[in-house]
Amino acid sequence: MDLPPIHVPFLGASGFMAIVMLLHMIFFANFVVGGPVLAVVTEYLGLRRRDDRYDLFARHLANMLFVAMILGPVLGVGIVALNTGLFPRFFSTGARAFFWPLAIEIVAFLLEAVFIVAYKYTWEGLRHRRRLHMTLGLLGALGSWLSMALINGLASFLLTPGKWVVTRRAIDAFFNPSFLPSLLHRAVASLSLAAFFMVGYALYMRRREPQPGYSAWALRYAGLWAVVTTSLQFVPGVWYLQKLPAEVWAKFLAGPLTPYWFGGILLAAAAVLIVYFASQDAQAVLARRVLRGMVWLAIPMIFATTWLMGFSRERARKPYLIYGVMYGNQQWVKAPTESKPAVSADARSLFQTHCAACHPAIGGDPFEKSRAYSTDEALAAFLRDPESAGKPSMPPFGGNDEELQALISFLRSGGR
């Protein structure tokens, strides 16, 4: 089934999806995964240490989780709907290979929703049955961790499809080579982001102080979580890199992605240092405007890290949607024998199908740029093999020669 592609103005289909997914990931998904664990551990510590500051902290966190639980799925459903419209061939491939994980995902979401709501609403009712209450929270956490693991199967598959390329078995797609390190990487990131959210919460509580010194205590406590989890990220990070195809991690370590990726690491390191020093003398930090400003800044810094890492990972996959299998314009790397190349030589629809997913939003104005190739032969050679021309983020044109000629005339005429 081949449907004409939908054109997204300004951003292009890929850019548009990237923004929606990142919003979903940074503000909701990670928080709902890391948050319940942080809340239950905090509640437990409060019980052990007989200190009701922990209880208040965990309770406020549960309230925030409740809000995230409502807003997160809105974007989540949006992602599915938009993907179906924008990348039908890619999406149906993914939804088939991941049919069962996605079906179980429904159960996971349900578990997460029901128990996070129960955890929040039984805070008073189960005052004297703390163990039961914490179990509710843990079940909520189990739901959100399960949904993370299932989504992680799909997300890691895109970059390392592994044996699935040959076997086409769902199990090989799911447990692909980077499944485990990427799962651990995500889990730690969720805890780290949730902790940074709570650093913001501690700053916000400065003006409310439910009891003397609460906000300074909360800043120290959330700060400790933020510093420890973020520093730990180094370990799964290195493991994950190792599992990527050699040419991908070359892009990370010394290639076009180095500034983004390394920039992300530097930002995270700076955010950790700020929060570390702030939690050393939280009282003083909360009293001084400039220092508070710096801690506020650490929060967008860690979001920016998440964004830069996600961006690097997506860019590393270019020109593919599924690494080595399907290109960014949804063309198979080697067309499966049953699907014949389209015979249509209608240049505009060729352009829409093969080029518009990226141009002009990501790759620039192709009409303007094709002038750099003075002969049609040179332009044809470039379109057939962009990698040799030093443009590895663009897929080679997969149509037949007649279509290539039509496309070139279209480019030469400036799109008329």
Per-residue interface string for the shown chain with ligand HEC, residues 257-276, x marking contact by CB under 6 A: --------------------
366 binds ligand HEC (CB under 6 A): yes
Q: Which of 206, 220, 292, 369 binds ligand HEC (CB under 6 A)?
A: 369
Measured distance CA(223)–CA(218) in Å, rounded: 8
- Minimum Å distance from CB 161 to ligand HEC? 17
17 binds ligand HEC (CB under 6 A): no
Measured distance CA(277)–CA(207) in Å, rounded: 21
Kindly tell me which of 8 and 407 has the beta carbon lying closer to ligand HEC. 407
DSSP reduced 3-state for 321: strand
Q: Which of 116, 183, 285, 357 binds ligand HEC (CB under 6 A)?
A: 357
Measured distance CA(97)–CA(335) in Å, rounded: 18
Task: Identify residues 391-410 at the interface with ligand HEC (CB under 6 A).
Answer: 391, 393-395, 397, 407
362 binds ligand HEC (CB under 6 A): yes
173 Cα distance to chain centroid:
19
Measured distance CA(415)–CA(251) in Å, rounded: 33
358 binds ligand HEC (CB under 6 A): yes
Place of tokens 């992680």: 152
Burial class (CB in 10 A: 0-12, 13-18, 19+), 400: middle
What tokens were used for 367?
A: 């009409």
Task: Identify residues 124-143 at the interface with ligand HEC (CB under 6 A).
Answer: none
CA angle 185, 190, 194 (to 5 degrees): 150
In sequence order, which residues have a C-beta less than 8 Å from that of residue 283 and are 6 or more positions away?
213, 216
Rg of the Cα atoms in the chain: 24
- Minimum Å distance from CB 378 to ligand HEC? 10
DSSP reduced 3-state for 327: strand
* Nearest Cα to Cα of residue 306 among 277, 345, 341, 263: 263
Piece of 103-111, 187-195, 203-211, 369-377 that binds ligand HEC (CB under 6 A): 369-377
Kindly tell me which of 187 and 358 has the beta carbon lying closer to ligand HEC. 358
Per-residue interface string for the shown chain with ligand HEC, residues 326-355, x marking contact by CB under 6 A: --xx------------------------xx
Kindly tell me which of 303 and 351 has the beta carbon lying closer to ligand HEC. 351
Kindly tell me which of 124 and 401 has the beta carbon lying closer to ligand HEC. 401
Would you tell me which residues interact with ligand HEC (CB under 6 A)? 318-319, 328-329, 354-355, 357-359, 362-364, 366, 369-370, 372, 383, 389, 391, 393-395, 397, 407, 411
